[in-house]
Amino acid sequence: MSFDVCRVRLWRACAALVLLSANPASAQNFPDGPIRLVLPYPPGGSADFVARPISPRLSERLGQQVVIDNRGGAGGNIAMEIVARATPDGRTLILALAAQAAANVSLYRNLTWDPLRDFEPVTLVAAQPYFLVVHPSLVANNVNELLALAREKPGQISYWSSGNGSAPHMSMELLKTMTKVDMLHVPYKGGGPAYPDFIAGRVQATFTSYGSSAQHLRAGRLRALAVSGARRSRAAPELATVAESGVPGYESGVWYALLAPRGTPSTVIERLNRDMVAVLKTTDAGERLETMGVEVAGSSPAELGRYMRSEVTKWANVIKRTGAKLD
């Protein structure tokens, strides 16, 4: 067992003792200061598009400022570790994507945290399919043409993702596995730094959110081929799903979960859940997200916990089939 793992476990044990000895009244006074909402990617990515319409409304509900803290890198693992180590008082939260909340635990060998063991589920915030998008220089107008090109030029078509183990990475790996094609993965530290290269044609394809790509699609700088979900997106109903386009059974996408450090008092979790669900039901926040192809959710902590467990199992099986592993 490594020194870092031992140190993290000792820290968690100490934190639990502090929590047990703390004055219960502290939870009743929540929130007694600003809330730090950590995002696992740099500014400009899909996490930003979801968090920024929500944070002002959540600030109003809580009576304290919600401060967004972008901590990109290592497939979101840096952000998850920061929150796992934070004081479990409800004032440090993370908007985790499917990668961090379900896939990375199977993808990375040496994580010091576990999404089921080290976090308290608050609520499922939103979900959305990805758009399979290519640069216009790629001579592909649909999924079948993209796959045909990939077969003609194995390993020569590059696709980017927002980091190793991210949901776009896993979505493309799933497509590659199901269709037996080879494309080159180019990981970035989020959508923000990737888009200039994508628009310039230095990388050629990706699975990305509608909110991140919409302006470029409308301007003709990029081209959408399909959506990754089980059904068509309300944001672009004319686009067929990948499954409809010749890859039956394909389904992928991204979801966003609000998580707190393990040991956060149940009364604080209940307050955060109540206020976040109320925010998601507000017309302005909900409609703004839906125009970007995001479907607002809102669940109980228990429902999110069950969903996370099922997703951890699902992506563990995908990763095992692909043989993907990262240090």
> Do strands 35-39 and 66-70 pair parallel, antiparallel, or not at all (unpaired)?
parallel
CA atoms of 249 and 133, how far apart (whole Å): 20
* pLDDT per residue as tens digits for the range 66-116: 999 999 988 899 999 999 999 999 999 999 999 899 999 999 988 999 999
CA distances from 41 to 170, 173, 266 (A): 16, 20, 28
Q: Tell me the H-state helices in the chain.
A: 3-21, 25-28, 46-62, 77-84, 98, 104-107, 143-152, 167-179, 191-200, 210-218, 266-281, 283-291, 301-322
For the domain made up of 3-128+254-322, give the CATH fold: D-Maltodextrin-Binding Protein; domain 2 (3.40.190)
At 220, the amino acid letter reads: G
Domain 142-227 grouped into CATH 3.40.190.10: yes
Q: Could you count the other beta carbons within 10 Å of the beta carbon of residue 246? A: 14
| Residue extents of the structural domains in the chain | 3-128+254-322, 142-227
Residues 6+ apart with CB under 8 A from 180: none
pTM of structure: 0.76
d(CA 138, CA 116): 41
3-128+254-322 and 142-227 share one CATH topology?
yes
Q: pLDDT tens track of the chain, all 327 residues?
A: 554 545 545 555 555 444 444 444 457 789 999 999 999 998 987 899 899 999 999 999 999 999 999 999 888 999 999 999 999 999 999 999 998 999 999 999 889 999 999 999 999 999 889 999 999 999 999 999 999 999 999 999 999 998 777 788 889 988 998 999 999 999 998 888 999 999 999 999 999 988 889 999 999 999 999 999 888 988 889 999 999 999 999 989 889 999 999 999 999 999 999 999 999 988 687 888 887 778 899 999 999 999 999 999 988 988 887 777 776
208-240 residue pLDDT tens: 988 889 999 999 999 999 999 888 988 889 999
